[in-house]
Amino acid sequence: MADQILTDAKSKMKKAEESLQRELGQIRAGRANASLLDRVSVVYYGAPTPVNQLASITIPEARILMITPFDKSSIKEIEKAIMASDIGITPTSDGNVIRLVIPQLTEERRKELAKDVKKAAESAKVAVRNARRDALDAYKKQEKASDITEDDLRDAEKAVQTATDDSIKAVDKIAADKEQELLEV
């Protein structure tokens, strides 16, 4: 039972890290990244379908995303979906492929995005700390019910704190990497 609490806490912490990674993947850094299109869905034969299931997405140059539909008849629908999305890039099409040219970021915009990265990282850290608090509460309940000893409680608290520290370090690294990517010119 005690091991299950630690496993659950670690799982929640890992999910917070993964969520941060996904969230930061949506932030444009002035270079092409296929995850930019993850949230774009196209109505294809009446069903909303992610772009990456309708087309291959390649990066021929650092600032260009090239979308090659598997079915050429869906090119207009993909274009419409990109225009309607919140990515803020106008697609250009030659009838066979769609190109998205990622604009260079201004210095001011880079700093703004770096602040957004810090906010997202702080939210992830809060989620990690919440997982720690839940685990510690569960261990304290077990100790109160005499399911575990005080020594077991102390050991469990140390294990939870170690997991928390590792997770916070991972969140910091993810955020630092994204900030580095944003502030590079």
pLDDT in tens, the chain (185 residues): 558 988 999 999 999 999 988 888 777 666 777 777 777 888 888 888 888 888 888 888 878 889 898 888 888 888 888 888 877 788 888 888 888 888 777 788 788 888 889 999 999 999 999 999 999 999 999 888 888 888 988 999 999 999 999 999 999 999 998 888 877 75
30: DSSP letter: S
Spell out the domains of the chain, with CATH numbers in brackets.
Answer: 1-28+106-183 (1.10.132.20), 34-101 (3.30.1360.40)
Nearest alpha-carbon partner for 20 in 183, 135, 169 = 169
pTM of the shown model: 0.68
| CA separation for the pair 24, 19 (Å, rounded) | 9
Q: Which of 21, 25, 48 is nearest to 36 (CA)?
A: 25
Burial category of 69 from C-beta neighbours within 10 Å (exposed 0-12, middle 13-18, buried 19 and up): buried
